[in-house]
Amino acid sequence: MKAEQNNEKILLTTWYLEIFNTPDFPPKTISIKNFHIEKIEKPPIHFYRYLYDTIGSPWTWWERKLQPDEQLIKDIHKPKVELHVPFIQFLPMGMVELDFRNFPEVQLAYFGIFPEFYNQKIGGYLLDWSIRYVFSKKAKRYWLHTCSLDSPNALPAYQKAGFKLYKTIEEYTEHPEIQIQKIYKNKNI
């Protein structure tokens, strides 16, 4: 979704969605040879950044790019933060980052698949899998937020999976790419 620009700042819309139980429809299936999902314990920073950048670069994911490695490691290695990675054979193809720190509420912190796997129903399967996984752990609420810089398919996909919109925030903010450029400039990168 395009963000409206206003003098160096953009209008950023953030949508907050939630779901309170497993959907009534049957679990989605996927028929890809050697497909599996692995929970990655304490992922190395380079692997996490590879996933994040590959998934997020088409959609201006920026928050983790603003974090120094030391802070990011602390965040993703917390005991109640889980990283699940779908693979075909040994090739990663996306990620589901779940934050259980406020259990029985769980946040879908980051979610996505690599661009080469778009339009193969993998994203829908992975999102459905995450919902069923979270509620199998006895969560009471599963929530997320997405924004107007994310894929135009994100909001409709979450709603199709059963998430309901409960809050929308619109604000003018500096474009994330400008924020990232400032950090690189300060680090002389």
Give Cβ neighbours of residue 147 (< 8 Å, ≥ 6 apart).
12, 13, 14, 15
pLDDT band at 111 (very low <50, low <70, confident <90, very high): very high
- Supply the angle between the helices 45-56 and 69-76 in degrees, to the nearest 10: 90
Helix, strand, or coil (residue 56): helix
Closest by Cα among 164, 63, 168 to 110: 63
Mean pLDDT estimate for the chain: 89
> What pLDDT digit, counting tens, does each position of 135-165 carry?
999 999 999 999 988 888 999 999 999 999 9
Tell me how far apart the alpha carbons of residues 17 and 165 are, in angstroms, rounded to a whole number: 4
Tell me how far apart the alpha carbons of residues 72 and 53 are, in angstroms, rounded to a whole number: 14
Give the C-alpha distances (Å, rounded to integers) separating 102 from 82, 127, 166. 13, 20, 18
Residue 1: the pLDDT is: 46
Tell me how far apart the alpha carbons of residues 86 and 126 are, in angstroms, rounded to a whole number: 8
* Domains in the chain, CATH or no CATH each: 33-186 (3.40.630.30)
Contact 91, 51 (CB under 8 A): no
The tokens describing 130, both together, are 């995450």
- Say whether pLDDT at 110 is over 90: yes
- Say whether pLDDT at 53 is over 70: yes
Contact 29, 73 (CB under 8 A): no
